[in-house]
Amino acid sequence: MGKKALIIGDVRTGKTKLTRELLEEAVKLGFSRMITVIDMAPETEVVEGGSIGGRLSVSTRAYKEVRYLSPPMVETPRLKASSAEELLSIVQLNAERIRPLLEECLASPSPILFVNDVSIYLQSGQVDLILRAAELAETFIANGYYGEYLSEDRGTGVSKRERDLMELLASQMDIVIRLPRAENIYMGRLVLEGERGAGRKPG
């Protein structure tokens, strides 16, 4: 507690699972009334035989014990779009749907803030809102995509923007946890990027 932490990794590395476990532990310890969750994740999609994405409200009952904020719809731009124009339209719509939740959180901050799938907002949204929300919280725990699986963005530059802003966010964290792909996991180890460092990029 009392730290700013970012959990990053490619798809199917367990980012949401780890976030869920931390949320459940915080609720179990009696911090429910101090917690806000902003769930930016789209609904789970099955791609190439595996699931991608997923909201905390589907995987845990702990969300019922806290202030839980989630837009009615978030889409997966790089999986859904059939053109560059459609992709850009989806990322803008996602940001517009999520922004009011961040503004609500900023207007009435909680000591503990969880953010699920922050990277999807960073594809088009203002990073300053995320940084301000993190600063206002005594404890900040977020997860987001940082990998190669979804790098194809039809030449829009969305993937580079997302990656650059995830690196900026990581540079402001006390702790960055990078989860390896399943084929790179050895005895369940997590890769800890360590303490805050100016300009430090994730692995």
Name the phi and psi angles at 155, rounded to 5.
75, 15
Determine, yes or no, domain membership for 192. no
Q: How many percent of the chain have pLDDT more than 70?
A: 84
Please state whether 86 falls in left (phi above 0), alpha (psi between -120 and 50) or beta. Answer: alpha
Cβ(154)–Cβ(79) under 8 Å?
no
What is the total count of domains within the chain? 1
What's the CATH number where 172 sits? 3.40.50.300
Q: Rounded distance, CA 61 to CA 64, Å?
A: 6
| pLDDT range class, residue 199, cuts 50, 70, 90 | very low
**What value does the mean pLDDT take over residues 10-34?**
95
Looking at residue 10, what DSSP letter applies? S
Residue 123 pLDDT greater than 50, yes or no? yes
In a domain, 80, yes or no: yes
Alpha carbons 148 and 8: distance in angstroms, whole number: 12
**pLDDT at residue 200 tops 90:** no
Judge whether residue 8 has pLDDT over 90. yes
Q: Where are the alpha helices (DSSP H) in 53-145?
A: 56-59, 77-80, 84-107, 118-122, 127-136
Does residue 50 lie within any of the structural domains?
yes
Q: What is the mean pLDDT of the chain?
A: 89
Q: Is residue 199 domain-resident? A: no
Check pLDDT > 80 for residue 122.
yes
For residues 56 and 20, the answer to whether their CB atoms sit within 8 Å is yes
Asked if residue 195 belongs to a domain, the reply is: no
**Is residue 194 in some structural domain?**
no
pLDDT of 29-74, one tens digit each? Answer: 999 999 999 999 998 665 665 666 689 999 899 999 999 999 999 9
Share of the chain above pLDDT 90, in %: 74
Between 1 and 106, residue with greater pLDDT:
106
What pTM does this model have? 0.86
Distance, CA of 30 to CA of 39 (rounded, Å): 21
Domain span at 92: 4-179
> Given this model, what pLDDT does residue 62 score?
97
pLDDT higher at 45 or 157 = 157
DSSP code at position 182: G
